[in-house]
Structure 1
Amino acid sequence: MIEIGGLPAHILLVHAVVVLGPIAGLAAIAYAAVTRWRRYLAWPLGVLSLGLVPVALVTAQAGEQLQKARPSTELVREHAEQGDVLKVVSVIFFVIVAAMIVVSFEPIGRRFAFLGGLRENRVLRTVLLVAGALAGAFFLYQSIITGHSGAASVWAR
């Protein structure tokens, strides 16, 4: 079992996902909805969504090790299932956010000039902005549900 300072790593790492996941979800929604905020949100949102992928995967791995080391209850198993969903959602969220930023943020889009007409396609841009907002909302939801199920597995008696 991975430990940090004598504590199971999952207990410490989970805070990064529970805090940064909802922030990333809200940022994706704001990016999609408010055009003038895009220049301020593009880089932080891109870096945050990319960073959350390994954090979610490592946190889930540490959680699986913790689950094997301790007695498992039904609440712990439910939390593990939610964590598995969150791993997949974090990867999908990153892919959608990256695509959304590439087609809608001009300074980054210039680096992808080979995409040419795809960046100019208004329908594609609109679809990706809507998909980004929906992915942000679902990532926000899944982060909260996963965190809540983890807290319930620890504190419910």
Structure 2
Amino acid sequence: MLLIGGLPAHILLVHAVVVFGPLAGLSAVTYGLAGRTRRYLAWPLGALALILAPLALVTASAGEQLQSTRGATDAIQAHARQGDILKVTAVVFFFLVLLMLAATFTPLASRIPALASLQRSRPARTAALALGVLAGLFVIYQSVITGHSGSFSVWGG
């Protein structure tokens, strides 16, 4: 089992996911709905999505290690199922953020010529922004649900 400072890594890593998940989701929603913020949010949003995906995978792996050493109650199994959903959600979110940025962020398209046609297509931009907003909302939701099920498994009785 992976330990950090003598504590199971999952216990510490989960706090980063609880912060980065909703923050990345809120950034994606804001980026998608408030066009004037795109110039300022593009790089932070990309960085948050890039951090969240591997962080969710590592946190889930550490949780699985913790579960295998401590056993699994019904509440822990429910939390593990929610964690599996969050793990997939974070990876899908990363790719949808990339799509959203590719369709709307001009400095990115100027470096990758194939993206220029994506930016010229208004329906493609609109679809990419809509998918990004929906993904952001789902990341927020799934982060809260997963965190709640985890805290319930520890403190819920």
Q: Common fold, TM-score beyond 0.5?
A: yes
Structure 2 residue aligned with 1:91: 91
Counterpart mapping for 1:115-154 below 5 A:
115-154=115-154
Q: Distance in 2 between matches of 1:116 and 1:109?
A: 5
Structure 2 residue aligned with 1:42: 42
Q: Which runs of 5+ in 1 are unaligned?
A: none
Matched, 1:20 2:4: no
> Which amino acid in 1 is paired with 2:47?
V
Q: Distance in 2 between matches of 1:25 and 1:17?
A: 12
Q: Distance in 2 between matches of 1:119 and 1:58?
A: 34
Matched, 1:82 2:88: no
In percent, how many aligned pairs have the same letter? 57
Deviation at 1:125, TM superposition (A): 0.2
> Which amino acid in 2 is paired with 1:106?
T
Q: Distance in 1 between matches of 2:115 and 2:41?
A: 22
Q: Distance in 2 between matches of 1:107 and 1:78?
A: 43
> Which amino acid in 2 is paired with 1:125?
R
Q: How many residues align structurally?
A: 157
Counterpart mapping for 1:100-119 below 5 A:
100-119=100-119
TM (norm. structure 1) is: 0.98
Structure 1 residue aligned with 2:156: 156
Kept after mapping to 1: 8 A contact 2:102/2:115? no
Deviations 1:11-68 (A, max 9, x none): 0000000111000000000000001100110000001101111100000000000000
Deviation at 1:116, TM superposition (A): 3.3
> Which amino acid in 2 is paired with 1:101?
L
Deviation at 1:7, TM superposition (A): 0.3
> Which amino acid in 1 is paired with 2:133?
A
Structure 2 residue aligned with 1:33: 33
Q: Which runs of 5+ in 2 are unaligned?
A: none
Structure 1 residue aligned with 2:5: 5
